[in-house]
Amino acid sequence: MELTLLLPLILVVAGVTLIAAAYYLHMQAKEVEYLIQQLVHLDEDARNDPIEFIKSTLAWMKRAGADKLHVRLNWFGEVLQLGDTVSGRSADQEEKGCEVFSLGEGELQATVLLCPKSSLRGEREALFQVVKQLWLRLLAAQLNGRVAQLHLSQQQMQRYEMFYKHDLKNLAQFLTLLNSQIDRCDDSECVLKLVNRLRGVLPSLEHRAQRILRFLTQKNIDTAEQQTFALSERIQLVARMVDVQVAIEGDATLKAYEALFEQGLQGVLENFIHHGERNEPVRIWIEDQGVGVVMRLRDASMQQPLTAEQRVRMFEPFWTTSESGLGLGLYLARQNFARACHGRLDAVNMPDGGWAFELVCPKG
């Protein structure tokens, strides 16, 4: 009698338990499916921008079961830390229960420290592994895509071509007019007028020509002799070429490959044309600190501090906030300074709350 009553009860309890377990597994599978969909969408939205991808997927990885996620990006010569802070240990040092992954190569590398929640067990751990693998593959694809984009983008190449074509057309127009002016001049007064006018415009013309050459060729200037020159005088010269007003405090002499140094200066000053306050002069401070020369440049538009990401992205090739900018100016400027004087160009936050470009050229 007791058995006949107990058996159905056991069967009912077992049935309910099975249904509950099946429902639980179904919900877990739905959650994973939803997470995967989100990651795939965010991957598409990021469009080969690994920084955006990491930032936008952090919360979803936490939801999937990550306790700690830290990414150290080697980003075109800068290091950018994203995600959770790791106390006292660097991202490539494995912590207990955590895994470290290295992705990318060359100028773009990511070291990922990923720690699952300690409470993850059984099926939840297995599902986390699925999401983790997907996320790592998407991040690797983002890094590779970014590199491919930089090297192969047809659109950027067209833009690149447009830049030097614009300068070439202006130069051609100038030469056409100059040629006809020379033909016209048949007295000394006319010649004098022409020469005086040319004297005033030659620096800007030289700048245009150099810019075209910079686009078309990469001259091997490293084999040239290093020169010693006064920094203030050289800045004035380049500023005149690019038509930027400067106010300089201090001075120092520097030994460097001067052509490369001038190209670096051009790149930084041109950045002020596109992003700065054109009515205000660019203020430049030069300090000889014995072991090296420090130069800081800023204008009235640089009153707010930069985030770590802004500081890094500024020097990323083809990254620009200006419609007319190619996004190569600061990237090339940094490379030119590095080759000219083993110098380092950075964007640094200042104690007064603003920021400045800082160039440090070591001596010797």
Partner 1 sequence: MAQILVVDDDAALRNMLALLLEGEGHDVALARDRHCAVAQLHQHAFDVVFLDMGMPPHEHTLEEGLQVLDWLQQHPRRLKTIVLTGQNRSESAYAAIRHGAFDYLSKPVEEGRLLHALERALLFLDNEQRLRNEAGEEKLTLTLPVGEGVKPVRNRAEEQLLRQVLEESAYKIHETARRLNLNRENVYYLLKKYGIKRPQKDG
Q: Which of 279, 283, 258 shows the shortest CA–CA distance to 269?
A: 283
In the complex, least distance from residue 314 CB atom to partner 1, rounded to whole angstroms: 16
The reply to whether 188 sits near partner 1 by the rule CB under 8 A is: no
Give the one residue of 13, 16, 20, 172 binding partner 1; rule: CB under 8 A. Answer: 172
Range in contact with partner 1 (rule: CB under 8 A) among 89-97, 230-238, 299-307, 322-330: 322-330
- What's the length of the chain? 364
Describe the crossing of helices 329-341 and 258-275 by its angle, rounded to 10 degrees: 150
The reply to whether 186 sits near partner 1 by the rule CB under 8 A is: no
Question: Cα 173 from chain centroid?
Answer: 35
Residues 6+ apart with CB under 8 A from 150: 156, 317, 318
In the complex, least distance from residue 193 CB atom to partner 1, rounded to whole angstroms: 7
The reply to whether 184 sits near partner 1 by the rule CB under 8 A is: yes
Contact assessment for residue 112 and residue 58, using Cβ atoms and an 8 Å cutoff: no
349-352 long-range contacts (CB < 8 A, ≥24 apart) are 349/305, 349/306, 349/311, 350/298
**Given the complex with partner 1, which of 150 and 178 has the nearer CB atom?**
178
Give the one residue of 117, 234, 278, 363 binding partner 1; rule: CB under 8 A. Answer: 278
Q: Which of residues 200-259 bind partner 1 (CB under 8 A)?
A: 200-202, 204-205, 208, 243
Range in contact with partner 1 (rule: CB under 8 A) among 3-11, 53-61, 192-200, 287-295: 192-200
The reply to whether 137 sits near partner 1 by the rule CB under 8 A is: no
* Cα 30 to Cα 174: distance, rounded to the nearest angstrom: 67
Q: 249 has which bridge partners?
A: 285
The reply to whether 162 sits near partner 1 by the rule CB under 8 A is: yes
The reply to whether 36 sits near partner 1 by the rule CB under 8 A is: no
**Given the complex with partner 1, which of 124 and 159 has the nearer CB atom?**
159
Phi (first) and psi of residue 337, to 5 degrees: -65, -40
* Cα 114 to Cα 61: distance, rounded to the nearest angstrom: 10
Phi (first) and psi of residue 357, to 5 degrees: -80, 135
Under DSSP, is residue 296 helix (H, G, I), strand (E, B) or coil? strand
**Given the complex with partner 1, which of 60 and 163 has the nearer CB atom?**
163
The reply to whether 176 sits near partner 1 by the rule CB under 8 A is: yes
**Given the complex with partner 1, which of 13 and 300 has the nearer CB atom?**
300
**Given the complex with partner 1, which of 27 and 177 has the nearer CB atom?**
177
Q: Residue numbers of the site for partner 1 (CB under 8 A)?
A: 159, 162-163, 165-166, 169-170, 172-178, 180-181, 184, 190, 193-194, 197, 200-202, 204-205, 208, 243, 273-275, 278, 322-324
